[in-house]
Chains A and B, each alone.
Chain A
Amino acid sequence: MSDSFMENENPNSFNLKKKNRQDSSADKSAPFTWQERAYERLKVLYGVSKLLSSVNSVEIAFPKILDLCSSSFPLVTAILIEKRGQETKAEVWHSENASPQQIKKAHIHAEKSFAFLTGHPKDDSLPNDHVQELAFRQEKFFDLPLVVDSLPAFGIIQLEGHGAFDEKDLEFADALSRLIAVAVDRYHKSNSERELRQRESAEKSSKLLKSQEDVADLQKERELRESFVSLLTHDLRTPLSAAKVSAQLIQQQSDNAEISQSLAERIVSNVNRADQMITDLLDANLVRSGFRIQLNLESFNFTDLVKDTLHELAAIHGERFVIQGSDSVVGFWDRKSFRRVIENLCTNAIKYGYPESLVTVSVSQTETDACLEVHNRGEVISKEDQCSMFQQFRRGRQAQSGSKKGWGIGLTLVRGVTEAHGGHVQLKSEQDMGTVFAVTLPLDSRISKL
């Protein structure tokens, strides 16, 4: 602003409203004196400054700024081009009288100017001499670089007047562009801070959610563990109590050799039972920790083992087992471990199958594998339960809600033994076909053990 303007106007008695009223009463057709024009423009800059501070986006402010300017700084078009990261955005303002051709031409010009100012003058359609002058005063277009501290790239504001711009116009446009640049800088910083806060808040929420999920998981794990320990102590106590009472009875009637013999046998079988429970538990823990169960591989006929085991199980559960398939499936496996697999799968089939229904056990082989399938008819196992069933302590919801006892380690053992042999277990449970546990393992597990 010129000194003469400051001298003519007293800044302390600035009253825009008053001045406005005076202006509105004046003859609108009378040309502005340079002082009046300067004052009008100062008013505009003040209004622009207020406007920019009342919004949080230059896109919203831009058309309003141009509307404010139009009375003292008549323009045909005004275009703001901003570079944000990889994107370039253009805001176009035009006067009511601007023709579509004028707007299109201005837009093209602005884009070329922007490309030139950002160092990408790839468009050969722009003559060299024209390009060189782009940053300066033109006949009609005036391009101002928008330099923003906080942004790596910048934008431009292109103004198109009705005629050539004079020095005062350029000073005003320059002041306008600086105000906009400062605002863009502020918006950017404020947006960055907001984004940072939002990101921090989102991270906090996500951490909190994660912690809550972790706590819920731990709680669930704890409940499973507690119910498991309760069941374990209960189940271990039964054979230990039986062994102890048998021993007490031997003490009390040592004269009856036959009864003493029978009681001693009960002690051995009950202590073995307790021992097997502990072995199962340790093996299940091994599987859960990602280790392989130790195997003692030997050659035997798998079908014979299935027959033997089913014969023993029939003594407990009755004649409910049907065996089918190949009579001879010979390979290298751990006999004791697979007896446990067959026992677990068949006991489960009895436990969770319909009462009195038959359990079908199939043994077959391919060129490379042996396959054991245990099929029962009963309640369908949900897909969700099918996924978690082989994890330790996990028992299906049906199993948990029913009166059936179980430690929830049987299927962990089945999986562990099978995988230690280099095989895998599959479970299918559907309404029509019932439930099938299918164990596939290599005919010679010595190879997978290496």
Chain B
Amino acid sequence: MKTILAIDDSEDILFLEKMVLTKAGYAVHTALSGTEGLRKITELTDLDLILLDYEMAPMNGPEFLKALQLQSPKTFDKTKIVFASAHEKPPSNVTQRWIPKIRDIDEFIKNIAEFLKSS
């Protein structure tokens, strides 16, 4: 079973992501902020994917990424990280590591599965 850490500042989104991904067969952990995410990462040993909200406050997605690289370089290197946002298109700096934020169950599960398969 693949393990996912979802980080988002919206409690609703986190709740739904967890429910949908759990139903799809993933082990899901959640964090309501970047700071909480950094703390949880230290407790999680086998993490396959970090699903990261791009626009969070106070620490946004890219800021979280930098902090993670400093705090846990090993996790940063071996874990797949994908940004999610409610925009139509990915922000220019994360084109390869982006999926649309959850807005349809089937589309979301498909996007996550494809990203996990990609190298």
List residues of chain A with CB under 8 Å of any chain B CB: 230, 233-235, 237-242, 244-246, 248-249, 252, 266, 269-270, 351, 355, 403-405
A355 CA / B33 CA spacing, docked (Å) = 14
B46 at the interface (CB under 8 A from A): no
User: Contact partner of A245 among B16, B55, B57, B86, CB < 8 A?
Assistant: B16
Q: Tell which of B65-73, B75-83, B101-109 binds the partner.
A: B101-109
Q: Are A237 and B105 in contact (CB under 8 A)?
A: no
- In the assembled complex, how far is the CB of residue A289 from the closest CB belonging to chain B, in whole angstroms? 29
Q: A242-B16, A266-B16 are in contact. List 13 more A-B contacts (CB 8 A).
A: A234-B85, A235-B86, A237-B86, A238-B10, A238-B13, A238-B86, A239-B12, A241-B102, A241-B103, A242-B10, A245-B104, A248-B104, A270-B12
CA distance A269 to B10 in the complex (A): 13
Return A236 CB to nearest CB of chain B, in Å: 9
In the assembled complex, the Cα of A405 lies from the Cα of B63 at a distance in Å of 15
Chain B CB within 10 A, most for which of A240, A242, A245: A245
With A234-B85, A266-B12 given, is the CB distance from A245 to B103 under 8 Å? yes
- Complex CA distance for A351 and B58, rounded to whole angstroms: 8
The residues of B with any CB-CB pair to A shorter than 8 Å are: 10, 12-13, 15-16, 19-20, 23, 55, 57-58, 60, 63, 85-88, 101-105, 108
When distances are taken between beta carbons in the complex, the residues of chain B under 8 Å from A230 are 87
Q: What residues of chain A lie closer than 8 Å to B13, measured between beta carbons?
A: 238, 241-242
- A122 to B103 alpha-carbon distance, docked (Å): 95
Residues of B within 8 A of A266 (CB): 12, 15-16
CB-CB nearest in chain A for B56? A403
Q: A242-B12, A242-B16 are in contact. Are A234 and B86 (CB under 8 A)?
A: yes
Q: Report B-chain residues with C-beta under 8 Å of the C-beta of A241.
A: 13, 86, 101-103
- CA A249 – CA B22 in complex, angstroms? 12
A244 contacts B87, C-beta separation under 8 Å: no
A246 and B15 alpha carbons, distance in the complex (Å): 10
Could you tell me the distance in whole angstroms from the C-beta of A329 to the nearest C-beta in chain B? 32
The answer to whether A405 and B16 touch (CB under 8 A), given A237-B86, A238-B101, is no
Known: A234-B85, A237-B86, A403-B63. A245 touches B58 (CB 8 A): no
Counting chain B CB atoms within 10 Å of each CB, which of A238, A239, A240 scores highest?
A238
In the complex, which residue of chain A has the Cβ closest to the Cβ of B60?
A403
Answer whether A249 and B86 are a contact pair too, CB < 8 Å, given A242-B13, A244-B103, A404-B57. no
Known A-B contacts A234-B85, A238-B86, A405-B57; A245 and B105 likewise in contact (beta carbons under 8 Å): yes
Which chain B residue lies CB-closest to A351?
Answer: B57
Question: Given A234-B86, A242-B12, A403-B58, are A249 and B101 also a contact pair (CB < 8 Å)?
Answer: no
Give me 14 A-to-B residue pairs in the complex whose CB atoms sit less than 8 angstroms apart, sorted by A's number. Answer: A233-B88, A234-B55, A234-B87, A237-B86, A238-B10, A244-B104, A245-B16, A246-B16, A252-B23, A269-B12, A270-B12, A403-B60, A404-B57, A405-B55
Query: Which residues of chain B have C-beta atoms less than 8 A from A237's C-beta?
Result: 86, 101, 103
Contacts of B10 in A (CB 8 A): 238, 242
Return A98 CB to nearest CB of chain B, in Å: 86
CA distance A252 to B23 in the complex (A): 10
* B20 CB to nearest A CB, Å: 7
In contact, A249 and B60 (Cβ under 8 angstroms): no
Residues of A within 8 A of B19 (CB): 249
Q: Is the CB of A355 within 8 A of B58?
A: yes
What are the residues of chain A within 8 A of B60 when measuring CB–CB?
403
Q: Are A249 and B102 in contact (CB under 8 A)?
A: no
Q: For B103, what are the chain A residues with a Cβ–Cβ distance below 8 Å?
A: 237, 240-241, 244-245
Instruction: Kindly report which residue of chain B lies nearest to residue A237, judged by CB atoms.
Output: B86
State whether A248 touches B101 (Cβ < 8 A): no
Which chain B residues lie closer than 8 Å to A234 at the CB level?
A: 55, 85-87
Give min CB distance, A255 to chain B, whole Å: 13
A403 touches B16 (CB 8 A): no
Taking a contact as CB atoms under 8 Å apart, the answer to whether A245 and B85 are in contact is no
Cα A297 to Cα B117 with chains together (Å): 59
Which residues from chain A contact B15 at a C-beta distance below 8 Å? Answer: 266
In the complex, the chain B residue whose C-beta lies closest to that of A238 is: B86
The answer for the CA separation of A56 and B8 in the assembled complex, in Å, is: 79
B15, B85, B104: residue with the most chain A Cβ atoms closer than 10 Å: B15
Q: Which residues of A contact B85 (CB under 8 A)?
A: 234
Q: How far is B55's CA from A74's CA once the two chains are assembled, in angstroms?
A: 95
Measured in the bound complex, the distance between the Cα atoms of B88 and A288 in whole Å is 29
Q: B residues within 8 A CB of A233?
A: 88
Picked from A235, A238, A240, A252, the residue with its CB within 8 Å of the CB of B105 is A252
Cβ-closest chain A residue relative to B55:
A405
Q: Is the CB of B20 within 8 A of A249?
A: yes
Complex: chain A residue closest to B19, CB-CB: A249
CA distance A237 to B86 in the complex (A): 6
Q: Most chain-A Cβ atoms within 10 A of its Cβ — which of B12, B60, B102?
A: B12
Q: Which of B23, B57, B88 is close to A403, meaning CB atoms less than 8 Å apart?
A: B57
Whole-angstrom CA separation of A246 from B55 in the bound complex? 22
Taking CB as reference atom, which chain A residue is nearest B87?
A: A234
Measured in the bound complex, the distance between the Cα atoms of B12 and A239 in whole Å is: 8
**3 closest Cβ pairs, A-B complex:** A241-B103, A237-B86, A242-B12
Q: Which residue of A239, A240, A246, A403 has the most chain B CB atoms within 10 A of its CB atom? A: A403
B22 to chain A, nearest CB (A): 11
